[in-house]
Structure 1
């Protein structure tokens, strides 16, 4: 594209500037993603591991379940921890007297093994509940359809240029902003919680150990539940954002929709050609049946319907061919060449053409009219 420019002074000479109109397009392809994603594109994205899912939802509910379990089983866990320490420290004097101050390695290993086994059994409910909660959260968000495609190694992941682009991408900036927001919210929740309970912290110096541990446990659990609830609000907002962002990323251009339709359903040109060939083959078979017809009923110029009646093959006459305009003329020409009688009956021809397809029996309401025509043709040919 060229445009003519002139100087502003008295003596000017016109000159041309060349520019490309593609610079003003919506994107590199000059197309805008204005179409909703199709089911096939969403399915392909799911196979690639691309789904609208927020990791914060599973984290929030796991955190909430953790502190709820602590609230329920806090006293039991405290008793188990106390028994572990009591059992370990109670054995120290006995072992010192028995082994003259030299503790065998096997005995130490046995004590540690029992303590670790007890702690593992104590922590097992947290791991199990955390796994179940995370699985349910992911299942509710995206359903159950596992794929290993995201785990497959790709050389593109080792590209440093792509890595730098991901680091400074809009997604990473959003994640950074979200992390800062979480720190601010959590900091506010923690500060507001302890600012109202700072007197409890000074009472810890005058309490026995068991009471101090109980007080600290209650404070931590109450704070954890508040943090979990605040985190759930952030997770809900992030889930809505991830849903909208995923839908926006999956949007398609009109050309992409057309290309996908061609790939899945076949090109319209190819389908049209196939349909045309099928119709031509059907016409050839139909025209081959005209010489076996008993009569051709005409309009006389617009419609032609060929009928055959064989009492041994069917209970009623059969329409073996029909056509309009040009096809009607071809049927009549073929009938004349093969000495098939042509009878003009305008109402009957129109009724048969409009209501009976090729290969179908004549309906009962037209029996009388068709029988009269066949009787006339049989009389001309001297048939019974």
Structure 2
């Protein structure tokens, strides 16, 4: 009793790797291994790199624009329209200057998403699903084991980023204390570099954490796709059909092929026999064939049936055991005989044609 239960348990245990068909079905449903954190982390890191490269140029152009506009402001009479126009010009200029940085973030974000899931479009996900917004479903998701794991992951990521930020801020505080001996004009640049270095460290920490999260997502996804031995058997039956059905189809195909082959015996010019173990039927039409062609062959019971059909249709039977065995073993049905058998077959056909000319079988 216990052994039977263990066997059932083992049969249902999902220990086998997913098949390509199961992976394809999961992909059609939108189930893929992906980490949103990896996409956002790489985009944030790309923005930091872009600011490091393009930042001085963007800041220089913006500074020149501010100096020019404020310098011209002395000659203007300030009104609500003038202030609104100045602010609009500044905002548009800032947007234009930061556009390359934003473009880098968008490109890297899309590349990171495509790297994880490749091009994927699932129309079913666009349809409304009330279970996604159901409070009961939401609470079950939060209180489930997967929800607990996701919460723990979020706390670990927050703790790691907070730790990196704390160490960087502690260093920044020490630098600010020492700024009392620095000229006032150099303070903004020093603080800017410190804040930027803090952002770079946070971005690196986010990328590392996101990479670990992506590895975990792939591991969890692969486990969710695992199949039991029974699943594999069921899929094999679905893709290749029931073994009994396949056997019946093959048997039927052999019967049809045998029936066509026996029908071709009536068209043969000669049947070469062993005399009892092998029989090979040859047909030769000089207008359409380069050499005689095997239209039927068989051994034992099939050979007897070929000889019987030949006798019914008055096809000559020629006993030549070596030639019959060679033809049976080397030439398939529908193929022409090889050149090394031309002479032997030509002698047999010549004999048959002479007998026909004399009116003898």
TM-score class, shorter-chain normalisation, is 0.7 to 0.9
Q: Secondary structure at the match of 2:295?
A: strand
Shift of 1:295: 2.4
1:341 pairs, out of 288, 296, 316, with 316
TM-score in terms of structure 2 length? 0.84
Which residue number in structure 1 is paired with residue 35 of structure 2? 54
Which residue number in structure 1 is paired with residue 46 of structure 2? 65
User: 1:361 and 2:336 equivalent?
Assistant: yes
1:142 pairs, out of 110, 117, 125, with 117
Shift of 1:50: 2.0
State how far apart, in whole Å, the 2-side matches of 1:180 and 1:300 are.
Answer: 87
User: 1:322 and 2:335 equivalent?
Assistant: no
Structure 2 unaligned blocks of 5 or more? none
Q: Which protein is richer in helix relative to its size?
A: 2
State how far apart, in whole Å, the 1-side matches of 2:131 and 2:6 are.
Answer: 29
State how far apart, in whole Å, the 2-side matches of 1:302 and 1:146 are.
Answer: 63
User: 1:235 and 2:213 equivalent?
Assistant: no
CA RMSD of aligned residues (A): 3.3
Shift of 1:108: 4.1
Aligned residues: 358
Q: Secondary structure at the match of 1:156?
A: coil
User: 1:201 and 2:182 equivalent?
Assistant: no
State how far apart, in whole Å, the 2-side matches of 1:291 and 1:67 are.
Answer: 85
Which residue number in structure 2 is paired with residue 26 of structure 1? 9
Deviations 1:194-219 (A, max 9, x none): 33342322356787765333222111
State how far apart, in whole Å, the 1-side matches of 2:229 and 2:85 are.
Answer: 71
Q: Secondary structure at the match of 2:297?
A: strand
TM-score in terms of structure 1 length? 0.80
Shift of 1:91: 4.7
State how far apart, in whole Å, the 2-side matches of 1:272 and 1:142 are.
Answer: 41
1:274 pairs, out of 225, 249, 269, with 249
Which residue number in structure 1 is paired with residue 273 of structure 2? 298
Does 287-296 or 80-89 show the bigger shift? 80-89
State how far apart, in whole Å, the 1-side matches of 2:331 and 2:63 are.
Answer: 90
Structure 1 unaligned blocks of 5 or more? 2-18, 97-102
Q: Secondary structure at the match of 2:311?
A: helix
Shift of 1:351: 1.0
State how far apart, in whole Å, the 1-side matches of 2:142 and 2:189 are.
Answer: 45
User: 1:191 and 2:172 equivalent?
Assistant: no
